[in-house]
Every structure is written in C-alpha cells, then in structure tokens.
Amino acid sequence: MELLYFKTLIQVVKSGNYTRAAYALDYSQSSITTHIQKLEAIYGGTCLLERQGNSMKLTPAGEVIYGYAEKLLTLYEESHERLATQEVHTIKIGSIETLAIYKLPTILADFKKRYPNIKVQIQPHTESTIIEKIANKELDFGLIIDRPLHSNMINKILLTKQAMKVIIPSAHPYAKKERMTIDDFKDETIILTEEGCTYRSYLVNQLEERKMNFTISMELSSIETIKKAVQSNWGIGFIPAFSLEKKDKVIGIPFQDENFQFYSQLLYKKSNVSNLAHQYLINLFQKSAL
C-alpha cells in the first residue's frame, strides 16, 4: 500500500491540492487525505505537506520523501513494462455472466487460432468488481454492460449499445404488445438477476422513483434459469436482448426507454496491453458485434 501513498503524494504536489489530485487519480478527496495521513504515520507522524495559500507544498521532510517516492514508482513501472514485453502465458478476462456465455466463445475461438498456447482465464464478476480488479491490475481485460465508464485510470472501448427485452410467459396478457416501458411493470411479479447487476439496478431504481407497486419474486445469477422461471409462469424477466434465443420458450418484448443508455464495454489499463497478443484480442473485440 505504501506505493499507493507515494503515488498520491506525487499527484498532490503535481496538482497543487487534494481536489485536483482526487480527480486525476479517480479517488474521492477523503481517500487522498487518508493516503497522505497514513504515509505521514509511516514516518512517525512527520508532516510532509503544508498549505501555502490555496496550494499544498512539500515540507523539508516531504521533499526528501518525494525524491524517494519518484524513484520507487519509476522502478515499479519499469518492472511492469519489463514483464509486459515478455512472452504472454495467460490472459485474465473478467466478464459479467451474460457476455461470458453468449458473446465471448466466438471471440476466444478466433483468438485461440492465432495464439493456441496462451491460456485464457474467464472470471465472472459484477461490473463494480471488474472495474476494481482492472484498476488493481488483477485482470488484463474486463467486459461489462453499463453506462459509459469515465475514469482516468482505465481505458474503455464502447462496443455496442445494448437493447433489453422483457420476457414473459406465452399466456401473459402482454403477449401481443410490441414494446414495453417502465410503466408496464406496475403490479407485476419480476424475476431479476442478483444485486450488483447494473441493468437490474436501473430497472429497480426507476420503479422505486415512480413509487410503483411491484414484487421481486426471485433473484437468480443465471440468465438461463431466469428464462426457465419465466416459462414456468413464476414472473416476468428483464434481460439483454442478445441473450434471448429462438429456442427459448418465452416471449421477448423490446424494452423502450430513452434514458437507458447502456453499452457493452471492453476495459483495460494501457500499461497492461503492450504486447501483440493483447493488441490482437482488442482488435477482435472491436470488430465483433459484442
């Protein structure tokens, strides 16, 4: 963690204050303050920064630590760059369940034709966990469905704007509707994905803001299980349009909401993709209709 505190110290000095440093590092201002306090505690409570007007300046002790911080971070970045230029043996991809099941196999099949000896690990996570693990360099890539990510630490590629469908049993009164809106969920029993899913959160928030009556009867991690539950007349579902297939014995009705601006996105840290295998995989994602 000390490296993180050193990085924060350097950014505060470069930015001039905690607010701009927080923006540059994509942290809250309280986190920046905590990092500096913990770094000072490591050195016995020595004050490293002091306010001069509207800016934060290094104290004499801070100037000493700043010099070492720059050297340590330079060595740290060099170590990652050195490893990035080595032969890649494993690529770790964090993905939400729907993209991992319905979209990833085709892309990975093409990738393995070019790089059969590279092991690919698929790790299912929620969107927030994927973002965190990308930031911490625990994953090489992340695949999410969410509003466009805005981060100074993580690169994003918007792949496809995602459409949603409301799935209903064949005998449901809405069976002949051409489209559905938030209002159509009133008094319905709904089967949803687990908490942490972004499009589930959007739907629930919209219903609660409108103070509409609804019941969540089930929370399931598997889209296939949700479709089976709907088929069994246990409620209606809300799933990405691409995950509904012809063989499914439910009716899918397009969800209409101009405020639903969610995209499938490829996430990665630039320092993690400096080799040909990573670049080839990025190109495959960009060419796909993910």
| pLDDT per position as a tens digit, 123-158 | 999 999 999 999 988 999 999 999 999 988 899 999
Where helices occur in the chain by DSSP H, the ranges are 2-15, 18-25, 29-42, 60-84, 97-102, 104-114, 127-135, 198-209, 223-231, 276-287
Spatial contact of 237 and 166, defined as CB atoms under 8 Å apart: yes
Contacts by 62-68 with C-beta closer than 8 Å and gap 24+?
A: 62/9, 65/6, 65/9, 65/39, 66/9, 66/10, 66/13, 68/6
Residue closest to 154 by CA, chosen among 171, 136, 169, 168: 136
Top-tier CATH class for 2-84: mainly alpha
Q: Where are the domains of the chain?
A: 2-84, 90-160+263-287, 164-254
Spatial contact of 10 and 25, defined as CB atoms under 8 Å apart: no
pLDDT, tens digit (0-9, with 9 covering 90-100), for 152-188: 889 999 999 999 999 999 999 999 999 999 999 999 9
Is 164-254 in the same CATH topology as 90-160+263-287?
yes
At residue 270, does pLDDT exceed 90?
no
Q: How far apart are CA 100 and CA 240, in angstroms?
A: 13
Q: How far apart are CA 286 and CA 245, in angstroms?
A: 23
Residue closest to 275 by CA, chosen among 114, 88, 134, 116: 88
The DSSP bridge pattern shows strands 155-161 and 164-168 to be unpaired
Structure tokens at 9: 């110290």
32-to-62, 128, 136, 236 alpha-carbon distances in Å: 16, 21, 17, 45
Q: How far apart are the first and last CA of the chain?
A: 36
Q: How far apart are CA 109 and CA 207, in angstroms?
A: 40
Structure tokens at 94: 């964090």
Looking at domain 164-254, its CATH architecture is 3-Layer(aba) Sandwich (3.40)
261 pLDDT band (50/70/90 cuts)?
very high
Where helices occur in 136-192 by DSSP H, the ranges are none
At residue 86, does pLDDT exceed 60?
no
Q: How far apart are CA 258 and CA 261, in angstroms?
A: 7
At residue 87, does pLDDT exceed 90?
no
Stated as kind and residue range, the H or E segment containing 49 is strand 49-52
Q: How far apart are CA 262 and CA 148, in angstroms?
A: 7
pLDDT the model gives residue 1: 60
- Report the share of the chain in percent with pLDDT over 70: 95
Q: What is the mean pLDDT of residues 55-68?
A: 93
Residue closest to 104 by CA, chosen among 141, 135, 137, 138: 141
- What is the identity of the amino acid at 73? L
Spatial contact of 191 and 232, defined as CB atoms under 8 Å apart: no
CATH superfamily of 90-160+263-287: Periplasmic binding protein-like II (3.40.190.10)
At residue 192, does pLDDT exceed 90?
yes
